[in-house]
Structure 1
Amino acid sequence: MKAFAYLLSQLRQYFADTSFSIWLQGSRDRHLQLYFLFALHPEAENFIMQKPDEVSFASGVDRFRLDEQAGLYYLRFFFAEEGQAVVMLENSESIQPSLTPWQWEILWLAFQLFIAEKTIQTKSQEWTKLLQGIHSISATLDVESIIREIIGNALAVIPAADAGLLHLYDEEIDRLVPKATVGFHDTVYQNFKLRSGESIAGKVFQDGQPRMYRTNPETSLAMMDLSYDNFHSLNDAKALHNLSGLLCVPISLEQKRIGVLVLHQFHQENVFSSYDLALLQGFADQTSIALQNARLYAESRQAYQNMAAISEQLRMKHDDLVKRNKIHESIKQLSLQNKDTGTIVKALGRMTAKQVFFADWLEQRYYPADSSIMFSWDELSTLLAGKRQPVSIQLVSGHKNKRQLCYVYPLTNGSVFLGCLIILIKDRHLSELERVTIEQGSAVLTLDLVKKQSLSSVLYKRTHDIFQELIASKGSEMLERARAFGLPPHGDFLVVYAYLSPSKDLSLLEANIHRLVTRWKWEFANNQVLAYGFHNHVTILLTASNSLEVKEMIERLSDAVQEWELEKEISLSIGAGSVVTDLEQIGKSFEEAKKAAHYLANRGRSGVVRYSDLGVNRLMLNQSREDIDAFIHDVFAPLWEGQDKFQELENTLLTYMKCNQSPQQAARDLHIHVNTLYQRLKRIEELLAIDLHHPADLLKVQLACHLREE
C-alpha cells in the first residue's frame, strides 16, 4: 500500500535509529492488533511487542496525543468511525519523540490514508464476493452448492463470523430446518428443527426483523427459549459456550418469508457492525434469488417433463389404437367368416404370442382338442363360481414342484357361464394390448357360443316335434318316421326323462339344458339314438343290449346328478322307463320315464329312479301332493292333536310298521318291553279308531306310514 509506505518513511525520518511497532484497532476490532514491527536489536523487540493499553477517546476532542509509560512512548492517533492507531517507541535517552504540530498532522493524515486504503480494499473484496454470488446464481442451478458458496462469501467479507447456517421453512412439519451449513458438523441436519418464534432464528422468521448480537451474554440471553432437544442438537454440531456473537437476517421470496440466514462468531476477535448486518441481508437476498430461480427452473423442467410424458402417452395411445384397430379387424374377419371355435382360439394365441386354451362349459370340450387338460370341470366350477372377472391362478406340479401362472378369463352371457379362456403367462398380469386382444376375442367366442346355443334350441324343438309324432304314430307311418331317426323296427329301447327344477332365469335354464344334452350325447355316444331339451326337461332315447348295460347307464346317470348337485344351481330329477323291444312301445317307455321323473320332482327330490322300482308308488303318480298330504293328515290327526302327549305313540306306530308288524323287533328298536308295546298299540287303535288285525285298516295305516317316508 502506498499510504503505509509513506507512513513508514515519515516514522523513520522522525525517529531514526529507534525501534518501534505499529498497533491498529479498526471499527470491527475488539482490541488493538500488532500490524508492523521494527526492532534494531532483540531486547527492543521484547519491549515494543508488549500490547499497549487501550484508551477510549471522545469523538471530536483529541485526534492524537503522546503518552509515556514504563520506558515506552505511545503516539496515539484517533479516528472517529475508523478506530485508532498506536506507534509504540523504545524509550531512548538520545532520542526524544518531540514532534511539531505539523508533523503530528502529517502522521495522522498518513494513518487516515492508510485506513482509507484498507477500507477500499475491504469494500473491493466485498463487491468481488457479491459479484461471485451473482455469477453463481446465473451459472448453475445446483441450489445446495449456490447456497454454500453464498455462505462462504459472506464469511469471507464479514471477518467477525466463522460459521453459518441457512434455515428454510418446511410447511409440512411447520418448522425451520437446516438446508446448508459452514463450520457446523453435519449432525445438525438430523434433529435441529425450530418453531416459528423460537430462539433468534425463529423470531427473525416470525417478524422479519434482522438481529445482531456482539457478546456471549447477550447472545445466550436471546437463545434462552431454545428447546432442550434443539440446544443439544446444535451444541453437538458446534460447542455453543464459545459463541460470542451472531447475525441473523430473514430470507424472503416476494412478500413471503421462506427462511433465515445466520452467521456465528466463535473464535474471531472482531465484532459485528451494522454494516455487516446490511451486507448479510444482501447475501440473503442473493439466496432468495437462487431459490426462486431453482423453483422456476424446477417448475419449468417439470412442465417440460409433463409435456414430454403427455406427448409420449399420446404417441403410445396412437400406436395402441392402431394395434387395437388391427386386432379388431382381424377378429372381426374371423367372425364374418364364421370361423369355428378352434380357429378363433389359435388366432388369439398368435396375436398374444402365448398359449391360449378355451374350455367350452356348455359342451364340456377343450380347444385345441389335443391340449393338455389343466382343470377338471369340477375345478373350473369351483374356481369360477359366481365370478365374472378374470383371475390369475398359479398351478403347481406335485411331481417336480413346477409352477405355472395362468390367466383365466370367464365368458358369460348375462348370468350364464359359457366357458373360459385360459392363457399361460409369466407375469401376474397381461399387458394392456394382450388384455384387449383377449377381451375382443372373448366377445367373438361368446357370440359364437350364443349363436350355437340358439341353433341348438331350434334343433331341439324340431327333434321334440318329430319324437312326439313318432310315439303318436302307428303302423307304416311309425316305421317311416323311425327310419328318419335310423331306428330299426325291433330292438331294446329305453327312454330317460330328466326334469330340471323351474328357474326364473330362462337363459340359465336354457344353457343348463344345452349343457346336459351335450354331455349325454358324448356320455352315451354308443347307445343314444336322440337327445334333446325342451322347456325344462331333457329326453334321451337309448338302446340297451342287456340288463347289465341298463344298470351301468343308471349308475352313470346317478353320477351326473351328484356332479350337478355340487353346482347348486338347478335340481335334476331323472326318471327311466322300462326297456321295450318294439317301436310302438317307445311311447310307453317315454310316459313311464316322465312319470318317474315327476314323482321325484313333486316330492322336491333329485336323483334317478326307474319306473319299475316305484312299486306301490305308481298308484300315487296321478295324485297331487295336496291329496297325499290330506290322506296322511286324516290318518294321523288324532295323534297330532296333543303333540307332546302322543308323539311317543306316533313314533311307536311308525317303528312297528317299519319292522313289518314284528312285536319283538319293534320292542327292541324302541328299547321297551313287548308288553309295553302291546299296551301302546292298544292305545293307538283306540285313538285312530282302527283294528290293526283288520286288513283294510292295516292297509290304510301302512300306506299312510309309507307315504310319510316318501
Structure 2
Amino acid sequence: MYIQILISRYKCVFLYMEDTWMNSFSLLLEKLHEWFGDQPSSIWFQFSRDRHFRLIFSSFHENATTIIPPMTVPHCDSDANDKRYTYESLPSQQMYRFFYENEGQAVICLGHKANQPVILTADQWDLLWFGIRLLLAEEKMTAKAEESKKLFEGIRSISATLDVDQIIRGIIGNALAVIPAADAGLLHLYDPSIDRLIPKATVGFYDTVFKDLKMRVGESIAGKVFEDGIPRMYKTSQETAHAMKDISADNFHSLNHAKALQDLNGLLCVPISRGEKRIGVLVLHQFHQENVFTEYDLDLLQGFADQTSIALQNAELYAEVKQAYEHMAAISAQLQAKHDDWIQRNHIHESIKQLSLQNKGAETIVKTLSKMTGHPIYFADWLEQKMYPEKSLLFFSWDELYTLLNKRRQPVSVNLFSPASGDDQRFCLYPLINGSIFLGCLMLPVDERGLSDLTRMTIEQGSAVLILDLVKKQSISSVLYKRAHDLFQELIVSKGNELFDRAHSMGLQPQATYYVIYAHLTQCHDLALLEANIHRLITRFKWAFNKTQMFVYGFHNHVTLLIRTLGSRDGKDIRERLQQAYDEWELGKEASLSIGVGSMASGIEQISKSYEEAKKAALYLTNRSRSGVVHYKDLGINRLMLNQSQADIDAFIHDVFAPLWQDPEKYEEWEQTIITYMKCSQSPQLTAKELHIHVNTLYQRLRKVEELLHIDLRDPEDLLKLQLACHLRQEG
C-alpha cells in the first residue's frame, strides 16, 4: 500500500511528509489498516473555514486499473450537532462521519471490497474520533505557529528596515500567508490634498491599479471602512458585489483592469489608524481560494493593519529625523561654504583694492579680473570707444552696446550667432554706469553653466574699481581740457610776437593753414552726462582726424578743434569726416549736436577769425533749434542775421505776413502763391507750373497779395523785404 499526499490549493493543508505529524497520523493509518484491511480508503475534512470538503488522504493499490469513483459527501442533518459520529452505506462506498461541535466534521470513506460492511465498536469509534481531533488540534497549532511567525516577521521588519514600501508589501504578504482564504491584498492611504484614498502597496494586483484608482471617502467598501472605522467581512461573491455597488465607473474599471472582479468571492477590510485618526485601510481579497473568511481572520488582519500603522509612523519619524539631519548637514555645509567664500571674497577684495590704489589702468584691471575668474573678460570703453585688452575683437558694434545697455543696471545675457562656426556664442554683458552715465561694459563669453557666484562677485567688485578708474581718468581729462581752453583763448587774443610765442608753445606753424571747428551741445541738462558726452565727442574727433595735427579740448557745453590742413582737398575731406562723425553721434543721441566750421586760416594770425566764424555757424544752428554740420561760408545772407535774436527775426516775419495770417483759411492759397513765386526767382511760368495753375490766375493772385500786404513787387525795397521774409521763414 502506498500513501499519496494530495496537496490542496488552500493554504492550510496537511503535508504528511517524513516527521510531520508522524506519530498521530501514523497511528490513525495503522488503525485503519488494522480494522479495514487493504480496502481503499480516504479521509475528508470540512471545518469552520472550509467552503467544501477537502481531501486529506487517499490510498489504493499500485496495480489497480480503476480509481475509486468520485465521492459525494452529503450535508449534515440539522440535528447532527448532538452526535459524535454516524455511519452511512452507499452503493460504492461506506462513510464513517465524525462531528466536532462548532468546528465542523470529518469523513472516512471506505471502498467496498467485501459483501459485509466493517462494523466498528464503540471504542473504535471513539479512538478514531479522538485521533481526528488530535489531527485537527495539530493543524491549528501549525496554523498558530505560522501566524506567530508571520507576526514576528512583521514586527522585525518594522525595525529592520526603513523602506516603507518594502515593509508594507511584506506585511501584506504575511497576512496572505496566514489567512488561507485570501490570495490578494491592497493597501489604501488617505491623501488629504485631494481628499481621496489612493493605493500605496499591493500583492496580487497589476501595478496599473496605482495609476487611476482614487476612492472617495464613503465610496465602496474601502471608503466606508475609512469613514466609520468599522471592519467589514464578506464571504460570498453576492455579498461582496452588493457592498461594492456604489463604486464609481472609473474606479471599477481601474480595479477590474488590475484584477478581474468577476472572480472576486470574498473580502476583508480593516481600518489603519493612528490613535483616533484613520490614515487608510487594508483590504484582502479572495479570488480563487476555496476557504471562507472567519471572524478570527478579521481580527488577525486588524493586527497586520496595526503593524502597518506603526511602520508608516516609523517611516514618517525617520523621514523627519533624516530631514532634520540633512537640514543640519546642509546648514553646516552652507556655513563652511560661506566661510570659504568669505575667505575668497576677502582675498579678492584685497587684490582689487590694491589695483585701485596702484592706478594700474583699465587694461591691467581687466587682465587681473580674467586671471582671478578664469574667464576671458573684455572691456568696451564707450566714452573712448576702445577695446581692452587692446586689439581684441569687438563682438558688438558700439551702437548695439549702447542700445542694449544704456538704460540697464543689471547684467544682460545675449546670444551672438557666428556665421563662421554656425553656432551661437552666449555673452554676459555687465554695464558700467556712473550715476546716469553709461561708461562701457565688461563682456564675458559663457557656456551653458553660466557664471559661479564667486565669479559674479569678483566681476561686480572689479566693475566698481574700473568705474572709479574711468571717472578718475575723466576728471583728469576735464582738468587738462580747462588748461587747453585757457591756452587757446590766450592764443586768439594775442598779437605780434606774443602770438608767435604762444603758437610755438602749442606746436603750431606760423605759415601753416588751419581750420577751426566749434561743436555745440544742447538739450543735455545732466551736467555729469554732458561732461561724458564732451569726452566722447573729443574721442570721436581724435579718431576722425588721427593723422592730422590737431589741438582739441572741451569746455562747458562745447568742443573746440583746431586742425592743420595739408592740401587743397583737405576742406572737402574735413566736411565728409565731420558729417560722418555727426551721423554716428545721432545713432546714440544723448544731446543735440551743432557743428560749425570756420573759413580756412592761412597762418596763425587768422585762427581767431576762423574760430569766431565756426562759433557763429554753430550758434546759428543752435538758435534755430537745428543740429548738423554747417560751414560759415555756406551761410550766405544768413550771416547778416547772426547777431539778430530769433525773437527779432520772428517779429520781422510776422510784420510782413500778418495781413495774410488774420484769416489763415481764406488767405492760405495766396500765402503759398507768394512763397512759391519767391522760391522760383519771380518766374511766372515756373511758379504757375509749380502751382498747377494758369499764368493769368497767378497774376491775379499776385495783385491780391500786393493789395493785402501794401507792397509793390516792382519796388526793389518791397521785393527785397518780401524775399528776406520768405527766406527767413524757410530757414526757421
What interval of TM-score do these two structures reach, taking the shorter chain for normalisation?
over 0.9
Paired position in structure 2 for 1:99: 121
Q: What does residue 297 of structure 1 align with?
A: 318
The Cα shift of 1:466 comes to 2.7
1:706 aligns with 2:727: yes
Q: Against the structure 1 CA distance between its residues 21 and 408, is the aligned structure 2 distance closer, same or farther, given a 3 Å change threshold?
A: closer
Query: Residue in 1 aligned with 2:280?
Result: 259
CA drift of 1:582 comes to 4.4
Moved more, 504-513 or 222-231: 222-231
Q: Hey, what's the Cα distance between the residues in 1 that align with 2:262 and 2:674?
A: 107
Is the 2:541–2:581 Cα contact (8 Å) retained in structure 1? no
* Displacement of 1:648: 0.8
Kindly indicate whether the alpha-carbon contact (under 8 Å) linking 1:15 and 1:97 is maintained by their aligned counterparts in 2. no
In 1: Cα distance, 2:470 partner to 2:181 partner:
90
Letter of the aligned partner of 1:29 in structure 2? D
Q: How does 1:379-418 map to 2 (within 5 A)?
A: 379-399=400-420, 401=422, 403-418=424-439
Answering whether residue 368 of structure 2 is matched by residue 347 of structure 1, we say yes
The more displaced of 656-665 and 81-90 is 81-90
Tell me the residue number matched to 1:564.
Answer: 585
* Inter-CA distance 161–382: structure 2 relative to 1 (3 Å threshold): same
Structure 1 counterpart SS, 2:586: helix
CA–CA distance in structure 2, aligned partners of residues 402 and 286 of structure 1: 61
Q: 1:431-442 maps to which residues of 2 (within 5 A)? A: 431-442=452-463
Confirm or deny: 8 A CA contact 1:208 1:250 kept in the other structure.
yes
The equivalent residue for 1:143 is: 164
Answering whether residue 640 of structure 2 is matched by residue 619 of structure 1, we say: yes
CA distance in 1, matches of 2:420, 2:93: 108
User: Structure 2: how far apart are the matches of 1:445 and 1:646?
Assistant: 64
Distance 1:428 1:70 in 2: 91
Query: Residues 525 and 211 from structure 1, CA distance in 2 versus in 1: closer, same or farther, beyond 3 angstroms?
Result: same
The answer for the alignment partner of 2:539 in structure 1 is 518
Structure 1 residue 570: Cα displacement: 0.7
- Counterpart in the other structure of 1:696: 717
Note closer, same or farther for the CA distance 1:705–1:169 as it changes in structure 2 (3 Å cut): same
- Pick closer, same or farther for the CA change 1:321–1:190 going to 2, 3 Å: same
C-alpha displacement at 1:10, in angstroms?
A: 4.8
- The one-letter amino acid paired with 2:309 is S
Match of 1:235 in 2: 256
For 1:199, the equivalent position in structure 2 comes to: 220
Q: Which stretch shifts more, 502-511 or 91-100?
A: 91-100
* Cα-to-partner distance string for 1:533-564 (whole Å, 9 max, x where unaligned): 11111112222244421221122112111111
State the shift of 1:339 in Å.
0.6
Cα deviations across residues 258-281 of structure 1 (Å, max 9, x unaligned)? 222111112222111000000111
TM superposition score normalised by structure 1: 0.93
**d(CA) in 2 for partners of 1:478, 1:43:** 149
- 1:137-536 to structure 2, matched below 5 A, reads 137-399=158-420, 401=422, 403-427=424-448, 429-536=450-557
For residue 133 of structure 1, report the CA deviation from its aligned partner.
Answer: 1.8
Deviations 1:469-502 (A, max 9, x none): 3323333333333333223444323221111013
Q: Distance in 2 between matches of 1:458 and 1:21?
A: 124
User: Structure 2 CA distance, aligned partners of 1:266 and 1:403?
Assistant: 63
TM-score by length of 2: 0.91
Label 1:58 to 1:632 Cα distance change in 2 as closer, same or farther (>3 A).
farther
Distance 1:152 1:58 in 2: 40
Residue identity matched to 2:213: F
**What is the Cα deviation at residue 627 of structure 1?**
1.4
Residue matched to 2:4 = none
* In structure 1, distance between residues paired with 2:109 and 2:207: 46
Give the Cα separation in 1 of the matches to 2:246 and 2:341: 63
2:56 is aligned, of 35, 49, 65, to 35
List runs of 5+ in structure 1 lacking aligned partners: none
1:33-112 → structure 2 map (5 Å cutoff): 33-37=54-58, 50-57=71-78, 61-70=82-91, 73-89=94-110, 94-95=116-117, 97-100=119-122, 103-112=124-133
Q: Which residue of 1 aligns with 2:660?
A: 639
* 1:44-102 CA distance string (max 9 Å, x none): 996686232120455863333444454755433322222112334457554552533x5
Report the CA distance between 1:459 and its aligned residue: 1.7
Q: What secondary structure sits across from 1:375 in the alignment?
A: coil
Task: Deviation per CA, 1:570-607: give whole Å up to 9, x if none.
Answer: 11001122223344443332222211111100111111
Q: Is the contact between residue 369 and residue 377 of structure 2 (CA under 8 Å) also seen in structure 1?
A: yes
Looking at structure 1, the residues matched to 423 and 138 of structure 2 have their Cα atoms a distance apart, in angstroms, of 88
Whichever residue aligns with residue 698 of structure 1, its letter is L
CA contact (8 A) 2:540 2:581 kept: no
Give per-residue Cα distances to partners, 1:387-408, cap 9 Å, x unaligned.
Answer: 3332233334435546543332
What residue identity is the alignment partner of 1:75?
A: Y
Deviations 1:197-227 (A, max 9, x none): 1111111122221100011111110011112
| Alpha-carbon contact 2:190-2:280 (below 8 Å) kept | yes
Task: After superposition, give the CA deviation of every residue in 1:589-635 in whole Å (9 maximum; x if it has no partner).
Answer: 22222111111001111111122221211121121111111111111
Paired AA for residue 257 in structure 1: R
Matched, 1:630 2:651: yes
Contact 1:57-1:78 within 8 A present in 2 as well: no
Aligned residues: 709
Matches of 2:62 and 2:574, distance apart in 1: 136
- Alignment correspondent of 2:5: none
**Aligned in 2, Cα 1:379/1:188: closer, same or farther, shift over 3 Å?**
closer
Once the two structures are TM-superposed, the CA of residue 29 in structure 1 deviates from its matched residue by 0.9
Q: Secondary structure at the match of 1:366?
A: strand
Q: Is the 8 A contact 1:32 1:54 kept in 2?
A: no
What is the alpha-carbon distance in structure 1 between the residues aligned to residue 318 and residue 250 of structure 2? 36
Q: Does 1:606 pair with 2:641?
A: no
